[in-house]
Amino acid sequence: MSERVPRAAAVLIAATMILAVPFLASGTAQATNGTAPSIVPFFIYALAVLLSIRPIRIAPTIELSASEVAVLAGVVLLPPGTLALVTALARLTNDIAQRKSPIRIVRNVGAAAISAGSAAMAYQIVGGVPTERIIGAPAELIIAGVVAAVVLVTLDLAQIVALQFALGRETASRPTWSWVARTARAQILWGLAAVITVEVVVIEPWFLVPGIPLFLLGYIDIRARFAAERRARLLETLVEVGRSVGGAVDPTDVFRGVYRSVTSVMDADAFYVATLGRDPEQLRYRFLVDDRRELEPVERVKSGTLAGACIERKRPLLLRDTERDRRALGLTDRSAWGTVQEKSIIVAPLRLRGAVIGAISAQSARASAYDDSDLDLLVAIATEAAVAIDRADLYDRTATLSRRLRDLHRIGLELSAQSELNALVAKIAHEVESTLGATAAAVYLDKGGDELEFAATTGQSAPDLMRLPKGSATIAAVLGGRAVEYSEPSVMPESTRTALERFDRKAVLVQPLRAGDESIGVLFVTWQEPHALTDEERELVGILAGIGASAIHGIRLYRELDEAYLSTVSTLTAMIQARDQYREDHQRRLAADAVALGERLGFAEDQMRDLRYASLFQSLGKIGIPAAIVAKTGKLTPEEREIVQEHPVLGARILETIRFLRPVVPLVRAAYENHDGSGYPERLAGEAIPLAARILRVVISYHAMLSDRPYRGQMRPEHARAELRRYAGTRYDPRVVEEFVTLLEARGAVAAVEEEMGAGRELAILAELTPEFHAILDLEQLLRRILGIIERHMPGASLTIMLRDERTDELMVRAVAGAWTSVESPSRLGAGRGISGWVLASKEPQLVEDVRADPRYVGDPAVRSELVVPLVSGGRAIGVLVLSHRSVGAFGQRDLTLMQAVGAQIAAAIDVADMHERLKKAANTDALTGIHNYRYFYDRLEEEVARAERRGAPLTLAFFDIDDLKVVNDTYGHLVGNEVLRTLGQTISKHVRLEDVPARYGGDEFAIVMPDTPREEAEKVVARLMEEIDEIEIALPAGGTIKMPSRSWGVAAYPRDGRTAEALVENADTRAYAHKRSR
């Protein structure tokens, strides 16, 4: 496929050829004028070709050679036309040998002719000026040669830059002007050397003997310098790769960051990242770029691909000529991803923990676009990329797991909220289908017979499949507790395949539903296409089946119990409804308040159950009161009052006949007794009245006040509460009244808040936490944000996250929220100490209603209740989430369930954030000394300067270097020199504050950023530090020691010595240099 050229580049190439025509025509005329040919043009041609053999790369698509030396020799020895023709022919020879495209050859030939012809013309023009009388003939020729060299270099560079701009490969940026300046410097140097050498040789040919070695040495030096600069740029690129992909957690963002880094240092018309999939014989091309356009990811067979060959060989591949080298590697024919026809390719393996997980490749439309240095760079980039890809994939898997945990938590809540069996099984089928991405799901229940009964499906039901025999092979295996799965029709039994074909299904999973040892039923999941389940899907459907089976079992038990109660409750409530339809709703509201008050007073579960039934049936005896008395608006007569006061006794007698309601009888009988003994029927007083009956007396009265009665109107709630307080101590137990009024007032406040907030607390917390887990990777910031969110939704609680110290197994406080607690709780807990230590060791949550009754508790004495949840990742407890409160019983089972879900997300997020912290620390740390590196130093210095400016706080920078490190290296070797640097870094790190920023600035230079420190104090600190370092001795490998080399240091303070990071560094360095000179 022909190379596509942008319009601007095409115009530029056409203009180049038009301008080159006169020079080439002149050269052709001079070559064919009939005179005997000279050997000089052939010599210049051969020299130009020879000097172009090993060019120096200065940019991804720009190369520099010494062929200008031959051109400048021709400037002196040949006419402009002849030189232009010879230079064009030399360039044509080289481009053909390198197999460049025709359009590039045409452009290069024209550009070479213009530059060489123009330089020769400049030489002749300047050489014709009558300056000989002033400066003499030799000097005149040298000046003409210098001018010719400048013209040649200027035109060469101008044409190269213009072409790169027209192709869109360069912009007017600092990197562009950097390589332009480097190229100009080298070409001018070569040109001037060539001019002087040629002119001197013209005067005296014997000077050619020393001239050639000097020129070669100069060429070697320039080449070495360019190589060093290239290595420096490559190292800078590696740092940039780490920076660009270090903060990315989305795999595509990582791939894009790697691609940008590759294109900044080498030609990359096409690019891909491929990783091994679940099937090791398949490759997933997860990121593809063709001519700067991203393509959709694809999956291909690994065999026969370059990426596959790279992975199999576990080494990088360099194809300078794609077709030739592909055959040499024994690879089959390959096709391009898109429009770019790759003529040279490099591929590097992605290595992670010793294993090759994929490959990364850059491809160019130019032949021989890459060399060994490019391959080495891509290998280094691939190493960084592999870590970043693994981290991004881990984050992606963690985020997926987090989402699934939230989904499971949601599903569990939704299933547990179902009270009807039909609705429950339909919900189970729907959630399984949605979670697994299946076509349909169906539930069959085991009701104890010989067949399973159809319960629900998300797909189409069939009348003949309403029952399934338990004796079939598949059903029998599943009822035995083993899941059965068929991924495609060819592996299914005939009966199964026939049944699925009716519904156009190609894959099926039959999952048992079991609650403990009891069979609940089976779950069918089907797919319309072949589907092989992953281990993750099997685990997920197992969890869903377990949750669903437990929920079905629970509803069955409740149904059995409800059925036993139903006839009794229905009979009794029917009698109440017969008297007054409104009374049913009244009883339910009364019962709800009675139970809430009993819970507030610490009733046990069985006491709560009795209180609930007593509140429902306390007025049952009123069925024996004549309707006329119930409806009477006036004052009751003594006889009528006596009849009314008999209703608790009548109600108790009715309830005595029902066995499971017998514990309720004393409560119903005493529900109308007064605290002072003035009630009825037995005139009990004070503690002689059961506490549950005292609760009923208060709650019954309150709800009676809120209702219209025949003898008075309805009261407002606040008036009813006042009435309760008025008769506290006479009719009502004062403590019960106070607790009930407090409950009502708190309920009103909570109801107002919930009405304003709209959503429930649990959903609000999970909804607010979820984005934080995905957006924040900084561990400390993440933990603070998590606790801040929980604190807002759980006012009054104090929250703490403690993480395990891997070295000591102690728990360390990493984040706190809630201002009420004192700081008396330990910041570290020994292994196994306290409730938190017990939870960490056992990985079991703890809900402690009163910590004073728990001998394990260690901490703030103001705490009364505590909820502790383990943070478990990969089966390993990494910390605990602690909620504390000043009230007894502040947390319930619902809080525990919610915090367990939150804790699971926190643990997963901590793992991701911890990996991010380790990677960030590695990227910001100097590998030799263990302290911060140059990049982190400058970032922090700029931050501290901005902070000092905002707060008006002092800031000092200390800067020092080792005076005689080179002497140490030359005398004892670089290993000893490295030990000097390492020891110095470790010593600095030990003697600075936590808020200080020690760093290796570069080479033998070190710096310390000292926030909130005046200059005078910093000078004293640095002086003491230098005295400490003076006492250090460095061990030699062969035995013996040497003293730490001397150092020169200086300090600069903000704002006295500078208001920017650069100014502070410059001033501190200047003072260090002055200190060195003064010694």
424-436 pLDDT per residue, tens: 888 888 888 988 8
DSSP helix, strand, coil percent of the chain (3-state; round to 5): 60, 15, 25
Categorize the per-residue pLDDT at 525 as very low, low, confident or very high, splitting at 50, 70 and 90. very high
For the chain, first and last CA: distance in Å? 70
Check residue 64 and give its pLDDT. 60
Integer Cα distance of 381 and 239 in angstroms: 10
Alpha-carbon 810 to chain mean position: 27
Average pLDDT, the chain: 78
DSSP class of residue 732 equals B
Say if residue 1049's pLDDT is above 80: yes
Considering the segment(s) 924-1077 as one domain, its CATH architecture is 2-Layer Sandwich (3.30)
pLDDT given at position 237: 64
Average the pLDDT over 845-853 and give the result.
Answer: 78
Torsion of CA 587, 593, 594, 595, to 10 degrees: 110
For residues 714-729, average pLDDT: 88
Q: How would residue 2 be classed by pLDDT, with cut points 50, 70 and 90?
A: very low
Q: What is the mean pLDDT of residues 945-973?
A: 88
Q: What is the arithmetic mean of pLDDT over 953-975?
A: 88
Q: Which two tokens stand for residue 919?
A: 């990677």
Answer for the pair 543, 625: CB distance below 8 angstroms, yes or no: no
Confidence band of 869 (pLDDT split at 50, 70, 90): very high
- pLDDT for residue 822 is more than 50: no
Segment 992-1014 mean pLDDT: 87
DSSP 8-class letter at 728: B
Cβ count within 10 A of residue 788: 15
**Does 7-203 carry CATH code 3.20.20.370?**
no
Distance, in Å, from the CA atom of 937 to the CA atom of 925, rounded to the nearest integer, reads 10
Contact criterion met (CB below 8 Å) for 467 and 452 = yes
Q: Is the pLDDT of residue 265 over 80?
A: no
pLDDT at 621: 76
**Bigger pLDDT: 889 vs 784:** 784
Q: Which amino acid is it at 493? A: P
Q: At what angle do helices 717-726 and 691-705 cross, to 10 degrees?
A: 140
Position 463 scores a pLDDT of 60
pLDDT of residue 189: 65
Confidence class for position 133, pLDDT limits 50, 70, 90:
very low
Q: Is the pLDDT of residue 481 over 50?
A: yes
Q: Which residue has the tokens 């009054």?
A: 796
Residue 712 gets which letter from DSSP?
A: B
Question: What does the pLDDT average to over 952-977?
Answer: 88
**Per-residue pLDDT reduced to its tens digit, 194-216:** 666 665 555 555 545 565 565 55
Number of C-beta neighbours around residue 236 at 10 A: 12
The yes-or-no answer to whether 418-559 and 774-920 have a common fold is: yes
Provide the residue count of the chain: 1079
The structure tokens 């907030």 sit at 757
- Rounded (5°) CA angle 203-208-210: 125
The pLDDT > 70 percentage for the chain reads 78
Task: Give the residue among 394, 436, 440 at the shortest CA–CA distance from 411.
Answer: 436
Q: At residue 788, does pLDDT exceed 70?
A: yes
Which pLDDT band holds residue 760 (cuts at 50, 70, 90)? low
Q: pLDDT-derived band of residue 1009, with 50, 70 and 90 as boundaries?
A: very high
Give me the mean pLDDT over the 735-757 stretch: 70
CATH of 774-920, one of 3.30.450.40, 3.40.50.150, 3.40.50.720, 3.40.50.10800: 3.30.450.40
Tokens representing residue 671 in the block: 């529900």
Place of tokens 């060299």: 149
Burial pattern 96-131, b for ≥16 Cβ within 10 A else e, equals eebebbeebbbbbbbbbbbbbbbbbbbbeebbeeee
Least confident of 69-73, 649-653, 1061-1065: 69-73
> Quick one: fold of 418-559?
Beta-Lactamase (3.30.450)
Residue whose C-alpha is closest to residue 1009's, from 1040, 968, 1054: 1054
- Superfamily name and number for 581-757: Hypothetical protein af1432 (1.10.3210.10)
Highest mean pLDDT (candidates 311-325, 684-698, 963-977, 987-1001): 684-698
CA atoms within 13 A on the CB side of 464: 2
Bridge-based pairing state of the strands 811-817 and 798-804: antiparallel
CATH superfamily of 239-399: GAF domain (3.30.450.40)
pLDDT of residue 441: 92
Record the pTM: 0.38
614, 621 Cβ separation under 8 angstroms: no
Distance CA 946, CA 674 (A): 73
pLDDT, one tens digit per residue, over 84-118 is: 888 888 888 887 877 777 877 888 888 888 888 88
For the stretch 448-459, pLDDT in tens is 777 888 888 888
What integer pLDDT is reported at residue 706 of this predicted model? 82
Q: How high is the pLDDT of residue 238? A: 60
The residues spanned by each domain of the chain are: 7-203, 239-399, 418-559, 581-757, 774-920, 924-1077
pLDDT category of residue 581 using cuts at 50, 70 and 90: very low
Q: How confident is the model at residue 134 (pLDDT cuts 50, 70, 90)?
A: very low
